[in-house]
Amino acid sequence: MLTKLEVHGFKNLLNFSMNLGPFNCIAGLNGVGKSNIFDAIRFLSLLSSTSIVEAALAIRDSESSDPLDIFWTNGEIRVEELRLAVEMIVPRDVIDDFGRKAQATSTFLRYEIHIARDLQDEANGSLGLYLAYESLNHIKKGDAASLIHFPLDAGRFRDQVIVNNRKGAGFISTSKSDDGVIEISQHQDGGSRGHAQKIPARHVPKTVIANTNSSTWPTILAARREMQSWRFLSLEPTAMRRSNKMHEDGRVGPDGGRLAAALHKLYRRDDHVYSRIANRLSRIIPTSDVRVDVDQVRQLLTVEVKERSGTFLPARALSDGTLRFLSLCIMAEDPDFNGLLCFEEPENGIHPAKMDAMLALLKDLAVDPFSPVSDTNPMRQILIATHSPVLVRLETPDDLIYADLVKVRGPTGKPTATVRCKSLRESWRVRAGGDFVDKGSIISYLTLPQNSQIDLFETEEGSS
């Protein structure tokens, strides 16, 4: 779980900071930079598995073009370094790439990374991206109350998920040798009892996090597993409508694929799952049953939904909105689905009158911080971005984040536009020191355009 995100020099984000809770809804006008917040998180997640260059190329708007596009620019100059940091709660129990189990020494961590450009390499025509700084430090359990700001039950939730048996140095640190070489040190969980492994940072293609695959470094591995668990949904109708092979991976994919395989896996664990999903799905369409058709001859699984007439319709006959809602219903039932889920524009395909059902489903996906983490309350976190005024009206002050474009002193010393996340005065984010926005300031976001032909807020004369 991410509790804080800090970004500087990445795309249009300058000195950006955001506190996060179990459920987070970012709203704002087009072109503000909401997607850049998602991209910063995605970049960090990619850095836990791939090389720095591959991660830069995989970010939207720079794919198949220039990986330097992730660095802030005003069109004339580009910053030489970008910085990202997160504070996060990581799983204590981990399994390394060789199947060995281990336990992290600390579960509340701060990870920071700086990626820099090599101007000399760029002048010679090569791509000069390198790791300039990397650190992973434990956060004391006693400091958790002042750093985790969202409402929670300290005894049932915070004390359960936060463990710290570490003293002294962190798990990853950066220093410069006498000859000016940047060295990243990887420290064992035993602290001073183990020798640090030093890595010259200048020419390593991956971060230390990405290179850690052994239980020898359990806390670093736990941080990596947490970052690898961050999902970015981009639900595609074609993928959601597709039937699945009987032995296909039983997890819903980022594109919404493998719905039938995932639902079939859940049904084999619990034969009541069909009725629970059907009951939730009935909030947006008239249905009384959901099932998976098993074709033994072709070895295919197909999701089917019972319509009003009593006929079962296959996934290929369902609307895009129904399939998007169904995908989330299946995820909500899967106790193995943990970590952060980022989802842009969940309102797509959903009628405004049914938006409350979508919002309730998304909130049910998030962990309840007033109850212990368990199979029925998995450690899940939800971050959505929306353009829907309807969804914003349905939101609570605690969960709503308003992304606003503001002017700040930029890297050139001149005013430049960047993103600031603001919340309503009564929210926990403002009580934690965050920027606030008055309700009146978002009226323009919630109201109809000036040239609207129908006024939804007035009734005809004489009507009730």
Query: pLDDT of 214-269, one tens digit each?
Result: 999 999 999 999 999 999 999 999 999 999 999 999 999 999 999 999 999 999 99
Arithmetic mean of pLDDT, 399-414: 93
Per-position DSSP letters for 116-154, written without gaps between them: EE-HHHHHTTS--EEEEEEEEEE--GGGHHHH--S---I
- Whole-number pLDDT of residue 60: 65
- Whole-number pLDDT of residue 330: 96
- Whole-number pLDDT of residue 464: 40
pLDDT in tens, 303-329: 999 998 899 999 999 999 999 999 999
Interatomic CA distance for residues 214 and 192, integer angstroms? 19
pTM recorded for the entire structure: 0.92
- Which residues in 363-393 are b (16+ Cβ under 10 Å) and which e? bebbbbbeeebeeebbbbbbbbbbbbbbbbe
pLDDT in tens, 60-88: 654 446 888 899 999 889 999 999 999 99
- Whole-number pLDDT of residue 192: 47
Which position has the higher pLDDT, 451 or 257?
A: 257
- Whole-number pLDDT of residue 455: 55
- Whole-number pLDDT of residue 448: 60
pLDDT in tens, 354-401: 999 999 999 999 999 999 999 899 999 999 999 888 898 899 999 999
pLDDT in tens, 411-427: 999 999 999 999 999 99
- Whole-number pLDDT of residue 79: 95
Tokens 């390499």 map to which residue? 121
- Whole-number pLDDT of residue 121: 77
Residue 200 neighbours by CB under 8 Å, 6+ apart: 181, 182, 183
Residue (of 127, 52, 51) closest to 82 by Cα position: 52
Distances (CA, A) of 401 to 255, 369, 425: 26, 19, 11
- Whole-number pLDDT of residue 189: 85
The token duo for 431 is 């009580």
Helix (H, G, I), strand (E, B) or coil at 373: coil
Residue (of 354, 300, 296) closest to 325 by Cα position: 354
Do 256 and 240 touch, CB atoms closer than 8 A? yes
Interatomic CA distance for residues 349 and 318, integer angstroms? 12
453: confidence class by pLDDT, cuts 50, 70, 90: low
The token duo for 63 is 């794919």
- Tell me the average pLDDT of the chain: 90
Interatomic CA distance for residues 41 and 233, integer angstroms? 13
DSSP label at 155? I
**In this model, does residue 462 exceed pLDDT 60?**
no
Q: What are phi and psi of 319, to 5 degrees?
A: -75, 160
- Whole-number pLDDT of residue 321: 94
279: confidence class by pLDDT, cuts 50, 70, 90: very high
- Whole-number pLDDT of residue 460: 46
Q: Which amino acid is at 372?
A: P
Categorise residue 48: left if φ over 0, alpha if ψ from -120 to 50, beta otherwise. Answer: alpha
User: Residue 417: which H helix or E strand, with range?
Assistant: strand 415-423
pLDDT in tens, 174-230: 998 878 889 999 998 875 455 778 888 888 899 999 999 999 999 999 999 999 999
